[in-house]
Each structure stands twice: as C-alpha cells, then as structure tokens.
Amino acid sequence: DTGVSQNPRHKITKRGQNVTFRCDPISEHNRLYWYRQTLGQGPEFLTYFQNEAQLEKSRLLSDRFSAERPKGSFSTLEIQRTEQGDSAMYLCASSLILTEAFFGQGTRLTVV
Amino acid sequence: AQSVAQPEDQVNVAEGNPLTVKCTYSVSGNPYLFWYVQYPNRGLQFLLKYITGDNLVKGSYGFEAEFNKSQTSFHLKKPSALVSDSALYFCAVRDQAGTALIFGKGTTLSVSS
C-alpha cells in the first residue's frame, strides 16, 4: 500500500471554472476526510465519509463545494464557479473509525 | 463541538535543549488527541496519539506528549532538540463518538544550532 494518493498535485484554473480533485485512500480505511489548508494555518475540516456515507459537512463548506465517495472507495471533491478565495491546499486523509488519520500530499489549487 | 488551541505561533530552542509545544483542547467526553508534523512542501505526518491509558505517550523521532485531563492539555515534548526537528507542528482532537478530527492553527518550531 502506497498510502493516500491525491490527484492532481497542482491545479491552476480561471475564476468561474469548475475543478475536481480525486483522493484514493488507504484501501482498508473506512473513513475519508477532506481538509483545506492555507499558508501558515492548520487544516480546516471540510467534510468526511464513513464508507460511502457523507456523515458531516463543515458550515464553512459552501454550496459550490460537493464531495462524493461512490462505493466507499476513492472520493472526489468538486468546486463549482471557483473564486480567488478558494486558492488553497486541499488535503485528503483516511483512517479507521477511531484511529489516527493518514494524509496525502495534497492538491494545490490556484485560482487566477 | 471540539476545539484545539495552540497558544504559541512560534517556539525557538537551541539544539540539545528540551522543547515543549503547547496544546489545550475542548471536547465532550473523553478526548482522542494527536500530534502531527509538517515539513515544507510535504504532507502531514502522524507523530503520536493519546487514546487511553498512560498519560505519557511516546511517538516517532523521540517525541513524547503528556496528557493532563484537569488542565485539558496535551503538550508535545522532546528531551533534546535537533535542528532537523524544525517544522510546523499541529495538535488535533476528536471526541469519543469518532467525529471529525479538528486541528489547531499550528506552532512553528525553530531549532538553532
């Protein structure tokens, strides 16, 4: 197992465009998390799944953001109508229910 | 809802000296506590965790952390700092129900030679 994998590693997009990121978790992990991190700040929780069910969404997650985890395996995070304020590192992590989370390298989004 | 506070934005220590990075938390019920480290342009790496049991937990790279329930703290410590320990450190907490892992804002550790 190579750990949590995120693609793409970098994404530059024009304001107003839609973008989609993919996360492949550690295979036996049933929890999958999405976080957003800006420079010098801690990871900010966005949403998490247990298997295919999305159990919690942050109030910070606007309706332009949507996440899916079909079949409880990989997950996608889509941002519609991107804004400059969406520029950040998007982190994915996976875990078993009560254990530590393991993070991917992240996808750095730049909205121009 | 759970929360984490890291009161120091930066901690500076000399190589060979002991280091402490502070963390306090707020959670309903018993906490699950974690420390992570982030090096420049790298993902977050798990260091150690407290779930239950001994209040002093040992982790990777010689780090340890002390859980103090009365002070709701989980400070990260190392007896002798290395220059290579310089990085950004994050404390995180989840509650017993297993909800989302919530992170502090991070503390930059700078170890000088």
Picking from B6, B101, B106, the nearest residue to A101 by CB comes out as B101
Chain B residues 13-52 with a CB less than 8 Å from chain A? 32, 34, 36, 42-46, 49, 51
Q: Closest Cα partner for A90 from A36, A42, A10, A43?
A: A36
The pLDDT of residue B14 is 98
* Contact A104/B at CB under 8 A: yes
pLDDT at position A98 is 76
Residue B33 has pLDDT above 80, yes or no: yes
Q: What is the mean pLDDT of chain A?
A: 93
Residue A8: phi and psi, rounded to 5, are -75, 175
pLDDT over threshold 70, residue B110: yes
For chain A, the farthest-separated pair of C-alpha atoms sits apart, in whole angstroms, at 39
- Asked whether residue B32 carries a pLDDT value surpassing 60, the answer given is yes
Interface test with B, best of A94, A100, A103, A108 (most B CBs within 10 A): A100
Q: How close is the nearest chain B Cα to the Cα of A3, in Å?
A: 11
Q: What is the pLDDT of residue A72?
A: 85
Mean pLDDT for the stretch of residues B70-81: 97
Structure tokens at B43: 């993902």
Q: CB–CB of B98 and A101 under 8 A?
A: no
Retrieve residue B13's tokens: 């220590």
Residue B42 pLDDT grade (very low, low, confident, very high; cuts 50, 70, 90): confident
Q: Which pLDDT band, with edges at 50, 70 and 90, does B100 fall under?
A: confident
Number of neighbouring beta carbons within 10 Å of residue B26: 13
pLDDT at A7 over 90: yes
B46 and A101 within 8 Å at the Cβ level: the answer is yes
CB atoms A33 and B98 under 8 Å? no
The C-alpha of B102 sits at a distance from chain A's nearest C-alpha, in angstroms, of 7
**Overall average pLDDT of the B74-86 stretch:** 97
